[in-house]
Amino acid sequence: MSAAARAAGNAAAGGGQPDAAAVRDYLSGLQQRIVDRLEAFEGPDGARFLRDAWQRPGPGEPGESVDDARNAGDSRAAAARQPDAAGAALGGGGLTMVIENGKVFERGAVLFSQVLGASLPASASAHRPGLGGRPFEATGVSLVLHPRNPYVPTVHMNVRFLVAGTPADAAADAAPIWWFGGGMDLTPYYPFEKDVVRFHATCKQALAPFGPQWHPRFKKWCDDYFFLKHRNEPRGIGGIFFDDLAEPGFDTSFAMMRAVGDAFLDAYAPIVERHRDARWGERERDFQAWRRGRYVEFNLIHDRGTLFGLQSGGRTESILCSMPPLAAWRYDWRPEPGSPEARLHEFLVPRDWV
């Protein structure tokens, strides 16, 4: 979609004016709710999330919009009007929350960030070249959890909001362009049909109030996106994924993003509860490490979120804390036919689970 078409769509959709502050408040609260629930799995004496608040100086401080920074009337406004060829982030901050060496979660990260930049990175503007060079504000919560027990799946969830500001030479009445994105997907090692069906059913239920058209669209998008082209195989069993969501208007788009974020714990926590005490041995851990290698490959080669973070001058420690603590590669190795490990591939074929 062209920048002009997107701007027209934002204007025509109506449904309330963009409220970046409301989005930030929701996302910050979502991060804390998820962390509280995950820490409960570790027990009163278990591991806790490290809290690492960070901030970057630049044309805007956390809580200040791109247009506020541009119109501030000081040196920061001038800086905001100058695109950075590298797309470097020039402002913002966030809260990185990481758990390591837990009884349940070997490693996990639940991240909140608000990044303001002078030039929209290539990973966000490749499909919309008309937005290239615009100042931007990106706010989101992203999480990846790598459980210790191989019978508990790895999971990823992300909800985000991006505003591309007006160019320096734009008309005075030009409006910024905004959109939402997000989703969640499950990556099991030893899958159980009950878990897979529940996960997909919860995703479908979250979107149901907004109409029957959204879940099939977002499910297929997830199947297509989380696919390792160089391996010709899916990363996991899918879920939902969406980007560029603006057509229903701000209020409805924001409500859809909240519905996805709020559904995460209901989709995932019962799976953790069911399998966290399952017995496992060296064989299961070896297979888990081998499959984690596929996860690393996807994140470093294909994932647009990782690329956006690095291209926007994001905080490298926060971006890469989604990686598993241990992973393995074996030359041309394949599970033995008929083995529990080989059974995984039966689940990796996309299908309608609900």
* Residues designated as active site: 156
CA-based max dimension of the chain: 69
Positive or negative torsion for Cα 16, 10, 306, 138: negative
* Distance spanning both ends of the chain, measured CA to CA: 31
Task: Give 73-104 as a DSSP string.
Answer: SSHHHHHHTS--TT--EEEEEEEEEEEES-SS
Tokens 């100058």, residue located: 82
Which 3 state secondary structure label does DSSP give 206?
helix
274 closest CA partner among 345, 191, 214: 191
Q: What is the DSSP letter of 49?
A: P
Note the residue count of the chain: 354
Q: Kindly list the distances between the CA atom of residue 124 and the CA atoms of 13, 98, 312, in Å, as whole numbers in the listed order.
A: 22, 26, 10
156 closest CA partner among 142, 166, 170, 169: 142
Cα 346 to its chain centre, rounded Å, is 26
